[in-house]
Structure 1
Amino acid sequence: MSDGILAGGLAALLAGLLGSIPFGLLLTRAAGLGDIRAIGSGNIGATNVLRTGKKWLAAATLLLDFGKGVLAVWLVTTLFGPGHAPMAALAAVLGHCHPPWLGGKGGKGVATALGVFLGLGWGVFVAAAAGWVVGAAASRISSVGALAAMAAAAVTGFLVLRMDAAVAVAVVALYVTIRHEANIQRLRTGTEPRIGAGDSGNGK
């Protein structure tokens, strides 16, 4: 019992530390653009990095934030077994959203959530990616794509994953949705900008 608790704690710590790497901040500083938290929404995610005007930097941030989610689940599964994968998914996303190195103020978690979805099951990732594409294309609003992706993942998880992993996917999806509270409010009032039309505050 104690060994299982220790393994679970180590798995969560490892995944959380991987998730907490603030790639958006590190990359913008390395590129000589200063502190990304002083730009746009103040978020460290790819959407806010895009506001620097450096598309390649935003793409790199997106891929790295996605990759750390995949890596967290894969590494924990390899080291501690598949039973710890759901916890790793949760810890990685929480680490991204609340990195201790930045006072707990991180991104909204979309890219990292997509990464852990792929780590838990490719079917969930495909559903989430399709949800984002359809939602964003239909509305031309990035946050609608993100919300559609989370909804699609949550539903699909219960169809294709075992129960503990499906619950983890649903919790991650719900938490990322909650992180978009301000975006949801702007959607309700019709003030959420469309893609390419200005600052949406939808940092990932």
Structure 2
Amino acid sequence: MTIWLSLCGAILLVAYLLGSVPTGYTLVKLLKGIDIREIGSGSTGATNVLRTLGKGPGAFVLCIDSLKGILAIFLVYWVFNFAQSQNLIPPTVNAEVWQSWMVTLVGFAAVLGHSKSIFLGFTGGKSVATSLGILLAMNWQVALATAGVFAIVVAISRIVSLSSIFGAIAVSIFMVILHQPLPYILFGVAAGLYVILRHRSNIERLIAGTEPKLGQKVQVETEESASPAS
């Protein structure tokens, strides 16, 4: 049992580190030589990269951050399959139930890693893209339904943060409608609330009517252009 618990703990650690990979920060730093946390919304996620560098880099960060969530969940599936083939799971453990709870915990670890990256002094993004990847690996129907809500709201409002908030609310509803396991429903509720909390500043701007719409870019300065001429 000790070996099994140690293995589960290792999965959680790897999921957190995977979520912590600072995709947006690294890309902007490489292309512009600036810290994306100091411009726009201060987030390292795809939306702030979109406003800073444009559609291509924004789409790249969206895909990679989503992939982090997918890989975290697939890691659980792979480890459980391997453990079962090697008889590493204790006979007292219900593998199916344990796996569903581990998927949920690993999902939380990846979300936390993205928003509180150990590589960025526990700062990061708002976990929307990583959460989408986790949902795709959990249940693609829930993920696509949630993405549909996001797409409808963004098409009407042109405001990404508002669409993310509606998507965060919709996750729990679709989890229940599609009869997902209790751990997955709890993930939908908790992760949805966490994403909404991560959008506190956006909510304040939405109320004030100052939240940027899709397509509005922020002005950035590279380290070279910001330096005084010699």
TM-score by length of 1: 0.89
C-alpha displacement at 1:198, in angstroms? 5.3
2:133 — aligned with what?
A: 115
Q: Does 1:182 align with 2:201?
A: yes
Q: Output the aligned Cα RMSD.
A: 1.8
Aligned AA (1:147) = I
Distance 2:212 2:30 in 1: 29
C-alpha displacement at 1:149, in angstroms? 1.0
Question: Structure 1 residues 166-175 or 14-23, which shifts more?
Answer: 166-175
Distance 2:177 2:197 in 1: 23
Aligned AA (1:153) = V
- Secondary structure of the 1:105 match is coil
Distance 1:26 1:188 in 2: 32
Distance 2:56 2:214 in 1: 17
- Secondary structure of the 1:136 match is helix
CA contact (8 A) 2:52 2:217 kept: no
Name stretches of at least 5 consecutive residues in structure 1 with no aligned partner. 200-204
1:173 — aligned with what?
A: 192
CA contact (8 A) 1:7 1:80 kept: no
Q: Does 1:136 align with 2:167?
A: no
C-alpha displacement at 1:116, in angstroms? 0.5
Q: Deviations over 1:118-173 (max 9, x none)?
A: 11111110111011011111222111110111111111112321111111122111
C-alpha displacement at 1:4, in angstroms? 4.4
Select the structure of larger CA radius of gyration: 2
1:162 — aligned with what?
A: 181
Distance 1:171 1:77 in 2: 22
Distance 1:187 1:172 in 2: 21
C-alpha displacement at 1:109, in angstroms? 0.7
Distance 2:28 2:212 in 1: 24
Distance 1:26 1:197 in 2: 22
C-alpha displacement at 1:3, in angstroms? 4.1
State which of 189, 205, 211 in structure 2 corresponds to 1:192: 211
1:202 — aligned with what?
A: none
Alpha carbons of structure 1 residues 60 and 197: separation in structure 2 relative to 1, 3 Å: closer
- Secondary structure of the 1:60 match is helix
CA contact (8 A) 1:157 1:170 kept: no
Q: Deviations over 1:170-194 (max 9, x none)?
A: 2111100111111112222323232
Q: Deviations over 1:60-116 (max 9, x none)?
A: 111100111111111122113633211111110000000011111110111011111
2:86 — aligned with what?
A: none
2:168 — aligned with what?
A: 150
Name stretches of at least 5 consecutive residues in structure 2 with no aligned partner. 82-98, 219-230
CA contact (8 A) 1:25 1:44 kept: yes
Q: Percent identity?
A: 39
Aligned length: 199
Aligned AA (1:53) = L
Aligned AA (1:59) = A
2:20 — aligned with what?
A: 20
